[in-house]
Structure 1
């Protein structure tokens, strides 16, 4: 059985994701598509729009055969560590291919860029350090250094200023780093860019555009044409049973409380909080009645919106530098859902997996898993309020979804 893996957030699952799964299956002749999906907090430092089980159902209804969780420590990390978690799990599950969407749409420039940066790594790292000293962010420093290293020859190189290209590059880098036999495939992203708003004459929109439209209209009706029917029904069900969709604006009262209750010295202990920004975070939280006004006070050339949000995610969940440094590699495969085809794959291949499968949270006390469970409870608390105790401990109460 040919297995192709994808590393995803599906926040929420839309027609662009459907295109990616279908094309990935076609390009690799896959019998099985395995999705490693982020849980309740995401790579850009945001709460997920809907919970991981709702997004699992969306994925299984639209072409994924297995959905497993990308642990919190990797799901909320910068691109290189996000890639490390995802690729390690796909490799452990004996995938033949991994497929990612990119602005480039052609794998050759990625491979050329990887070879170039491997050969010039010492020079690259020094150039990045020099660029950061000017006050720019790490992604900007990487792209600046990279552009200076690109030779003028007939080879094509990937544009590393594009968000999906950057992730794709790190996927390839990680697969090589762990000496995996898994092969890389990329699918051209169609029409909508990562941050684009929805367009009335299209059926493709970014997840960012879809979320934006729902919040602005306070309705999901405007986005029905941009999603598979099962995904739209999932949002309908969520709307009926929850106070709100997940966002930092919704979480702001609890997040603000969490920041203010700590001293600057305590805030500095949380992962990614560096260089004295804890004083600014505390002052801005005291002065801001909304999340947007808080971010406008904190964001700068040095600290991007995404980097700040990742700090806030770790403050909100209590994830410290000590916790971060204690995790070296993914230690399990957390099963969220499967089709019958996926179940057959597990029955056939799990003896070859290099990580244990966890289908019941109660069967393990792994520290990395405990962090995922803790994050789920805080996510549910922020959405449902303290009176709704039914949503506490959902990781223990929810078995893998079967389709």
Structure 2
């Protein structure tokens, strides 16, 4: 069974994702699609719109065959660590290839850019540090440093988020000496960060979420931008839990965590550094919402995404020592769901997996999974109190979803 791996968040699954899935399957000539999907908190430091279980259902009903969870340790991270975790899972699960969407859509330009940066590594890193010393953010410094080194159009635009992720996927494959074959397909119509609908059928997840959370969302239809099953599951989730998750649901908990911390305690939290603890504590005292808090702590040096990730780590009380003690590769395969074809693949191939397959949480004691458990419990606080316990207990009670 030829397999292609996808690295996803599906927040929520939309028509652009469906295009990427089918284009990837075709590019890889694959019979089985395996997705590594972030759990309840995502790479940009946001709670997922709906739980990982509902997003797993979306994936399986729309053409994915197996869904593994990308552990919290890798999911709420910068691109390099995010990529290392995801690639290690696909490799351990016996994938033949990994296919990612990109602004470029040209694999050769990725390979040439990586080779160029490898050859000029010292100069590039020196340029990054020089630009960061001027007060710009790390992503901006990376882009500026690269443009100063190269004026060739054959290299990638490192200001584009999916190009950056693609580079990190290929670097991770090389670093881990994986046999995964990298493939890329162009993103269709909508840019990653587009906040407005730019076509009749394709929209970014950002613009779809914005429409959902708009005060006028009753008047805005997203049906043309998402498959039927996504629309159905979003409606079902809202009926069951009465909310979609976003940062404001968690603001009171984050503010409480901050107000009970001393500067020394806050410095122990992962990604709190360079005196940020004082800025965070001062802003927590005078902010009435998460958005207001973010506006107060935002600087040129720290991107909104970087600060949101930091806030997730504060919310989950994730300390530097907990993250430092975990290897660059994942240590297990957490199975969230499968189709009949996916089940057949697992039955045939799981004995060859290089990591333990976890389908029942209570039977697995690995330290890394405790971060996932804690994140799931915190995530459940974002729903109405009478269903909090139900969502919290689901982490233990939910068996891997089977779609036949």
Report Cα offsets for 1:139-161 as digits up to 9, x if no partner. 11111121222264xx7111110
C-alpha spacing 1:136/1:336, structure 2 compared with 1 (3 Å): same
2:273 matched to which residue of 1?
Answer: 274
- Corresponding residue for 2:35? 35
Q: Counterpart of 1:338 in 2: which secondary structure?
A: strand
Give the stretch that moved more between structures: 9-18 or 341-350. 341-350
Residue matched to 1:178: 176
The C-alpha deviation readout for 1:113-146, integer Å capped at 9, x for no partner, is 0111111112222222222111111111111121
Deviation at 1:250, TM superposition (A): 1.7
Pairing of 1:10-89 with structure 2 (within 5 A) = 10-89=10-89
Contact 2:250–2:381, Cα closer than 8 Å, also in 1:
no
Cα drift, residue 382 of structure 1 = 2.5
- Relative to the length of structure 2, the TM-score reads 0.97
Taking structure 1 as reference, are residues 323 and 222 closer, same or farther at Cα in structure 2, changes over 3 Å only? same
Q: SS at 2:222's partner residue?
A: helix
Counterparts of 2:388 and 2:323 in 1: how far apart (Å)? 30
Moved more, 347-356 or 379-388: 379-388
Aligned equivalents of 1:243 and 1:278: distance in 2?
34
Structure 1: distance between partners of 2:396 and 2:10: 23
1:396 aligns with 2:396: yes
Residue aligned with 2:248, SS: helix
For residue 195 of structure 1, the aligned residue among 190, 193, 196 is 193
Asked if the contact 1:12/1:207 (under 8 Å) is kept, the reply is yes
Secondary structure (helix, strand or coil) at the match of 1:254 reads helix
Gaps of 5+ in 1: none
Alignment partner of 1:122 is 2:122: yes
Q: How does 1:146-225 map to 2 (within 5 A)?
A: 146-150=146-150, 152=152, 156-199=154-197, 201-216=199-214, 217-219=216-218, 222-225=221-224
**Retained in 2: the 8 A contact 1:11–1:49?**
yes
1:92-111, aligned counterparts within 5 Å?
92-111=92-111
Structure 2: distance between partners of 1:349 and 1:29 = 19
Whether contact under 8 Å (1:4, 1:25) holds in the other structure is yes
Q: Deviations over 1:273-321 (max 9, x none)?
A: 1111111111111101111111111111011100100110000001111
Q: CA deviation at 1:389?
A: 2.2
Aligned equivalent of 1:367:
367
- Distance between the aligned counterparts of 2:3 and 2:370, measured in 1? 29
Between the aligned partners of 2:133 and 2:190, the Cα distance in structure 1 is 34
1:5 corresponds in structure 2 to 5
So what's the TM-score if we normalise by structure 1? Answer: 0.97
Q: Which position in structure 1 is the counterpart of 2:141? A: 141
Q: How many Å separate the matches in 1 of 2:360 and 2:135?
A: 46
The one-character-per-residue Cα deviations of 1:173-212 (angstroms, maximum 9, x if unpaired) are 1111111111111111111111113427511111110000
- Of 380-389 and 15-24, more deviation after overlay is shown by 380-389
The alignment partner of 1:265 has SS state of helix
Contact kept, 8 Å, 2:192 with 2:204, in 1: the verdict is yes
Q: Distance in 1 between matches of 2:308 and 2:256?
A: 16
Q: Output the CA distance in 2 between the equivalents of 1:163 and 1:203.
A: 22
Structure-2 separation of matches of 1:372 and 1:179? 27
Q: Aligned runs of 1:303-318 on 2, under 5 Å?
A: 303-318=302-317
Check if 1:297 corresponds to 2:293.
no
Write the distance in 1 (CA, Å) between the matches of 2:376 and 2:228.
26
CA distance in 2, matches of 1:269, 1:103: 37
Q: Is the 8 A contact 1:214 1:220 kept in 2?
A: no
CA 1:106 to 1:55, structure 2 compared with 1: closer, same or farther past 3 Å?
same
| Partner residue in 2 for 1:228 | 227
Runs ≥4 residues deviating over 6 A: none
Gaps of 5+ in 2: none
| TM-superposition CA deviations, 1:58-92 (whole Å, max 9, x none) | 00011100000000010000000000000111111
